[in-house]
Amino acid sequence: MPLDGRFGPVETRVAGLNARYKYHGATAVLEHALRDRDVGRVALVSSFGAESVVLLHLLSVVSPHTPVLFIDTQMLFPETLAYQKTLAEKLYLTEIRTLSVTPDQILAQDPQGNLHKSNTDACCAFRKTAVLESALSGFDAWITGRKRYQSGTRADVEFFEADGDARLKINPLAHWSPEDLQDYIINNRLPRHPLVAQGYPSIGCAPCTSPVKQGEDPRAGRWRNTTKTECGIHFINGKMVRKSAKDAA
């Protein structure tokens, strides 16, 4: 439920916000979302992946003290961890919160570190979605980098979406194209994730991410040779809900 009970139904809020900011650009959507009374308390969730620097830079300009939630699944590429530190320093982001499962939780649910080999959904639910759900309990909305061009499941993404029955998702870059992102990175001289140059246009956990060949969908390297397209943070069976590790098992 909303943190202080002052909000109306989430679907009503989503419809109103999308109508209000329909013709706004990414920066304006971000600025307004951070102070709109229909949105509430906001955090940005970032993977510090291939395109994350664009949204992180926008936030650094608009509101660098906004909480940034970074999920360290403890299976990330070393390059991602190094990149996260680089961006935090370069962009003067002062409120980055690194989230992880505890050693005791790993011992209980994935002691060999091979859950991803037998059940990728359960691994994502354990190492990512449950961790995020706990962290988001203190917020009314969260900012994501979801964009329409990324895959079929994201083709209809709007600036504002329902996240369950109470919380909102904010997608300032929903209408941006790959060219828009590249132009922004170049024009602002932003550092790129080092794995992009090695053929990784979409970057997740190391065991479940592979390089993408020319002409492939940018997310083709995520869970390759499976039907899985989302980690569970955003979609489960086409619905914007999240599974617990128990449900995914």
Q: Rounded to an integer, what distance in angstroms lies between the CA atom of residue 35 and that of residue 31? A: 7
Bigger pLDDT: 240 vs 100: 100
Phi, psi of 97 (to 5 degrees): -115, 115
Would you say residue 247 has pLDDT above 80?
Answer: no
Q: Are 57 and 28 in contact (CB under 8 A)?
A: no
pLDDT of residue 134: 93
Among 75-84, 92-101, 163-172, 229-238, whose mean pLDDT is lowest? 229-238
* 35-62 confidence digits (pLDDT tens): 998 899 999 999 999 999 999 999 999 9
Q: Which residues of 31-68 are buried (b: 16+ CB within 10 A; e: fewer)?
A: bbbbebebbbebbbbbbbbbbbbbbbbbbbebeeebbb
Give all domains of the chain, ordered by start, each with its CATH number. 10-248 (3.40.50.620)
Among 3-12, 17-26, 68-77, 147-156, whose mean pLDDT is lowest? 147-156
* 174-184 confidence digits (pLDDT tens): 999 889 999 99
Pick the catalytic residue from 123, 124, 205, 231: 231
Would you say residue 238 has pLDDT above 70?
Answer: no
Catalytic annotation on 231?
Answer: yes
